[in-house]
Structure 1
């Protein structure tokens, strides 16, 4: 049967912090139909390429279906007793600070709440931190310094009503495409101006009124210049300043700072300051380019200072807005999921707050000092201070800075538990105990997005195998550690009610986070809960903060914080002359454990790469498609070269998604130094220093196959396709027998082979068949292989008799590399339409082919194709 007769279920997308609503319908075969929810206030039916491909990421083929202890499958009773016993014994011998939890923004709020309660209230340690430390801890710290609480004042509606939107360290077009579509809609309807502040030229720069390509780490100097100009021109709001402290000191610091370190011209800086000052409705959206810095908290406060000084905060169409990278980074902040926070935005180091939470939980002990933040936590794992570690829905062996050292620390830990949906992540392979958790589509609970909107995630698929919800796993361990009553939960609704009741205490302390209006929510009302922005009390639902000048510091004023620009911690020099920027791609997510399951998401950029400026490439003797060895004292990587002036000379960019499972030589966080912001503890992930050299391979290969391959090369990167897999390969050591290598690569010793080989030229082409069906084909050359890859990937499983030509017959259409992932439109299709149908605009291409009309994040690439096709005509 199919699912066409089943009703749709409202849920929430599991990717970024936009928190898009989705409508889900099971297809009756274990899969889903997915579309955007037109009634959800975050997206009004829009989805990005990742959200649109969610149906391709469900299924059981990749799932962990039963607990494992020491690599052997077992039952839940055995596994959970092992976890409870080992943690209890470790605590008994070495104290509560000898254990730690490292959790994730992939958890639902109810899961997060139970984990925080277990560690802080009943184990008695604050050693629980989250991968959100890597993406938004500086925002938390900056908010608390300025406002007295981790309050996000901006809303998505502000984007709709703004006259100027400034994107700082945010490639909104690729990382939060649905918000970018809202911005483009505002630009079309009200003429909203757009300024992008980013060392790189990104997709978000397409159509922007101004791109300020400042030097990495110099954001404070730019916003200090803005604050100084606000003061000098009398643009401060004297009435609102009466609700703030510190303005004079902040202005003095700002005027003493040197804007020249930004690398921008005085003309550029003046144009930006003038535009900002004369536009009242200004929204400043910032993300990882601000947060992921050793001066991240200061960057946040430099931005907040300008909004506070002008009173442009808390009113429609104006204010700062931190956009988060994970679906429930905000929910984790709300339950105290960070090592230095307490539930409901209460302060861990405040004895009154701590005592109130302890009493509410009836907890035997509570830590009175912050626990270890992520970087320090894994250092403590490495030196043996942490002896038992529980990692939940995250992959720190890949994502942490100095990832090689973190991987080794986890491998050497006395006892490591991993809860996840797969056994094949880099981190899961290091676990002593693996616990199968439910995945998105099977989970039931709530998440909070970047503008404080709480939404429901609802289960529409049955949990496969023995998989269990995370809250249930954590609660059972709590009970087995002797805390039966505290963790006697039957449902996520019960946990949500407890969380809401605890928030009433926060409200009584005058804190911002208060959802006590849900404390008596029954199961039926919880099941039907509609998206709502907190706070939610008996008398208030949603609304804005700070327009009334009331803040959460003692005395009620905000603080305008004096800050001074500090350069990145790592210094370039003769040994490591390049500044490494890392970030995300449009179609991939974190370490690709979900998105890599989707062939169309892997089609756009299927291989890890490094962007470098043409001048740097020339000086290094590197050409397009060469492989580049990137190294520093922490690690090394091999990446494909992309030569582009989108990066500045002396700077390089590499995406952070590839792992030991997909491209083991491209784990880019192995090169990121574990240097952190002194206030937030957030690592500086965009300013490490590296050296580059051309990787001199003896051979290069490209392969397509029906089944997953078994690569054995110095460099390889494998991606899923509609018909199987594709891989790029390269090695230093020549191979004597390429047919034998192909049989090993494709795991097909008994297949028949067709091959062409020229040992003198270093060229070989091998195709293996089972009957008439192609098992796999390998193409080898002494230079990067020149074949039509996007044609070859369609051939596994077919007769494909002419495959060794490496190109289609003249009468076979070749759409080329996929550019629009949402609708599967290739580059060649776009080029042909431009050339034969006279299409002259991105809009015309969208109307004719659909490309760029869904999430819009490929529009800049379509525009680049148009420029490339029309430039020769313009030059004539």
Structure 2
């Protein structure tokens, strides 16, 4: 009874989880992978494995509030409904908007979309999934007539060639990547090609890495299409029978690509490497092309997707085992949002806003004559409209756009001047929640009840582990209550998430038969699903119909598509460079992306100490040659600027970074880092078809931040610190870590540290303090140890060479320090004979670089398998395997 099967709330892989509740009162829960779930078969990445550390009530939003004052639910809901109705009455429905999230469950998404598009009557509802996969939607719809992912995970294991294009799956989709790694180990014929400007952890298993010039992927795939035709490797029968538009697409590909040498020059690649790719693609029938944010997040992302799909259509490599164009989505329920029409340019159940028959059908099903019949504002345009005063009210659900949107400072200013900002979230303190007029507490992952769909179209249940915290409510309930108060009671009288799922299924099946235009998304098997059946729902891939109740693993097996003539469409692609190119003022190309152990804006992952250990601060990767030219040293502080904003980050020298390119992670917020918000720097240019921002190619400059002092603080209790331009705070195991730097003169460190770190009883008790000071050189170190228990320590220096907190952090687990430990404390190094694990490499088992290096040297370890056998490192999620290889002896 205490073990519940649910689904991971992180990436789009959709791993199954078994959660065993050990203590309801304290939310103590043991997390392990569900060995029977077909997405992961028991494996979890570092984030999924530490979910038990993130279900505490810390920083939870417990009560509704208006203008910062706690109110009851009735008052909050009445206020939101009245304000929305008044604004609509005065300015029309286009004056309001919803901005929602791939963190919502499908049932939440469905109700939000129904209210906005079906009853308010505008399509001004968009989602943060716009930022990650909307170009993939356009690509699929243009080619197939529907947003249909044709592949599944099994295809990765059956393939003999996998192209990872703009996808660092090793970090961003770790369990899917582990399936690829395993497939390569068992199939010697399988070749892996990574097409990515950066050398990432995914290159660890690559037979070929093509560091393509940023933005030139479409040229590369146009080259493949031309090569297939010129070398007689197209499937003419498939083209003639199942497609249209081939000649036009081929003509454009030949015209724009030219020879192998011309493609190589345009892509910044060696001709030999391009020739190898073309030869492998032409000669390998079982080819899967995996593409992700590196393709989608571009001003030409939709065209890049279709350039990839064109190659698969031309070779007939689709709808068959081990082949196909496979978009990897970012969020746990981005697919569910696509199903219900959560994007501003879609309707519901994979129907189209600008198709009058679809609008009429949805209107008859919902019983509404107000169904929106034109596209709403996509994310970037939506916040532009808020900034311009055209949108007077916005409801933001389960997302943090002040951090994650491009040109994020403009987004912040837009919300500051907006007439009504409503935020429903489970977290109390976010950069966006700070700007809300109305805060509505929503249930979190461990309390939510509904369904999600992963990136292979697999629907899984997300089941609650605990009752709702405080007065939190499910998102679908909050939306429904507002809808009822706006005058739409009959259409939103839901009693459970099962009610909504049945309606969602019924809409998908409504007039979806051979007599009408058949639609891909169909859940007719679930139209009469009762509550018990919903509770017991097993993972299944849609479509799930009365005729195919077990679902369908692979689409287009019969070569029939969802266009008017049932043929797939080739799209002629003219490769386009990024809209904003580097210039003399902003000479670098800034790339952005995810880290291995963090998720989105860290509201959940930052609660898990293990996940903060690997990369605890914002950083900027730069090629060592660029760094040397600009006078940037490792771990020093750098300012990154664009025309839109700036950020501060630690310098990370990485030869895998192209000269002229930078990379920064996306995760840090003002709550955790004073100037680490990546979104402030990113340009807001979007793809003209998908509206997806160009987050991978922002012109930028970088220069050294002339910090006069750096400081590290470890404290058993959280601290309120000010007075430093650079300040980052992360959670450690039983302590909090703070990294500071400033261009201001040094402080009176003795007085400052005692006022900050001590309780009032011991500020001037010298027996509680250890201290070292070299004022002339700029060094100061102190530790606060009442009763010989370490409460806090401070290390200050004129440069960034300060102690790593590995051994120091371990001291917070002790009730009393030994004399040897106290004598060594201010050195930052353990006493002789005690281990210092160093910087964490393996988060799953908390294994540091010094431990690994020592084991490799003393036990003569020769492989990652040896390291795993000795230290367990690499035997969990496997995301650190590439990094572990760096510690092994180099071949002579």
For this structure pair, what is the TM-score category when the shorter chain's length is used for normalisation? over 0.9
**Paired position in structure 2 for 1:217:** 215
Local SS of the residue matching 2:877:
coil
Q: 1:95 aligns with which of 92, 97, 106?
A: 92
| 2:723 corresponds to 1:701 | no
User: Contact 1:419/1:437 (CA < 8 Å) preserved in 2?
Assistant: yes
**Paired position in structure 2 for 1:454:** 459
In 1, Cα distance between equivalents of 2:213 and 2:37 = 38
> Which whole-Å deviations, capped at 9, do the CAs of 1:600-627 have from their partners, x for residues lacking one?
0101111110010111001101111111
The alpha carbon displacement at 1:789 in A equals: 1.9
In 1, Cα distance between equivalents of 2:416 and 2:755 = 29
**Paired position in structure 2 for 1:3:** none
The alpha carbon displacement at 1:844 in A equals: 1.2
**Paired position in structure 2 for 1:359:** 364
User: Contact 2:151/2:553 (CA < 8 Å) preserved in 1?
Assistant: no
Q: 2:404 aligns with which of 390, 393, 399?
A: 399
The alpha carbon displacement at 1:744 in A equals: 4.9
Structure 1 consecutive aligned stretches of length 4 or more whose deviation exceeds 6 Å: none
**Paired position in structure 2 for 1:542:** 552
The alpha carbon displacement at 1:266 in A equals: 1.7
Q: 1:765 aligns with which of 775, 778, 781?
A: 781
The alpha carbon displacement at 1:268 in A equals: 1.1
**Paired position in structure 1 for 2:192:** 194
| 2:21 corresponds to 1:26 | yes
| 2:881 corresponds to 1:859 | yes
User: Contact 2:503/2:527 (CA < 8 Å) preserved in 1?
Assistant: yes
The alpha carbon displacement at 1:750 in A equals: 4.5
| 2:596 corresponds to 1:586 | yes
> Which whole-Å deviations, capped at 9, do the CAs of 1:290-348 have from their partners, x for residues lacking one?
00000000000000000000110011100011111100000000000000101100001
Q: 1:304 aligns with which of 309, 313, 321?
A: 309
**Paired position in structure 2 for 1:740:** 751
The alpha carbon displacement at 1:82 in A equals: 0.9
User: Contact 1:710/1:744 (CA < 8 Å) preserved in 2?
Assistant: no
The alpha carbon displacement at 1:94 in A equals: 0.6
In 2, Cα distance between equivalents of 1:15 and 1:75 = 32
Local SS of the residue matching 1:60:
coil
Q: What CA RMSD, in Å, does the superposition of the two structures yield over aligned residues? A: 1.3
Distance 1:608 1:506, change over 3 A: farther
The alpha carbon displacement at 1:745 in A equals: 4.3
Q: Which runs of no fewer than 5 residues in structure 1 stay unpaired?
A: 1-5
Matches within 5 A, 1:8-19: 8-19=3-14
The alpha carbon displacement at 1:754 in A equals: 3.5
**Paired position in structure 2 for 1:816:** 838
Deviates more, 1:781-790 or 1:397-406: 781-790
**Paired position in structure 2 for 1:441:** 446
In 2, Cα distance between equivalents of 1:517 and 1:389 = 36
In 2, Cα distance between equivalents of 1:553 and 1:743 = 71
Deviates more, 1:542-551 or 1:847-856: 542-551
User: Contact 1:298/1:563 (CA < 8 Å) preserved in 2?
Assistant: yes
**Paired position in structure 1 for 2:499:** 494
Q: Which runs of no fewer than 5 residues in structure 2 stay unpaired?
A: 258-262, 764-768
> Which whole-Å deviations, capped at 9, do the CAs of 1:182-231 have from their partners, x for residues lacking one?
00111111122110000000000012100000000000000000000000
> Which whole-Å deviations, capped at 9, do the CAs of 1:222-255 have from their partners, x for residues lacking one?
0000000000011111111021111111111111
In 1, Cα distance between equivalents of 2:721 and 2:847 = 30
The alpha carbon displacement at 1:644 in A equals: 1.3
> Which whole-Å deviations, capped at 9, do the CAs of 1:558-609 have from their partners, x for residues lacking one?
1111001111111111100000000000000000000000000101111110
Q: 2:580 aligns with which of 554, 564, 570?
A: 570
Q: 2:147 aligns with which of 131, 145, 150?
A: 150
Local SS of the residue matching 1:664:
coil
In 2, Cα distance between equivalents of 1:434 and 1:862 = 45
User: Contact 2:350/2:519 (CA < 8 Å) preserved in 1?
Assistant: yes
User: Contact 1:710/1:746 (CA < 8 Å) preserved in 2?
Assistant: no
In 2, Cα distance between equivalents of 1:373 and 1:501 = 27
In 2, Cα distance between equivalents of 1:676 and 1:747 = 51
Q: TM-score, normalised by structure 2?
A: 0.96
Local SS of the residue matching 2:886:
helix
In 1, Cα distance between equivalents of 2:739 and 2:337 = 38
User: Contact 1:507/1:513 (CA < 8 Å) preserved in 2?
Assistant: no
In 2, Cα distance between equivalents of 1:736 and 1:231 = 70
User: Contact 2:806/2:839 (CA < 8 Å) preserved in 1?
Assistant: yes
The alpha carbon displacement at 1:765 in A equals: 1.3
In 1, Cα distance between equivalents of 2:588 and 2:39 = 39
The alpha carbon displacement at 1:534 in A equals: 0.3
Local SS of the residue matching 2:205:
coil
The alpha carbon displacement at 1:679 in A equals: 0.4
In 1, Cα distance between equivalents of 2:113 and 2:46 = 33
Q: 1:426 aligns with which of 422, 427, 431?
A: 431
**Paired position in structure 1 for 2:527:** 519
In 1, Cα distance between equivalents of 2:471 and 2:760 = 35
Deviates more, 1:211-220 or 1:801-810: 801-810
**Paired position in structure 1 for 2:260:** none
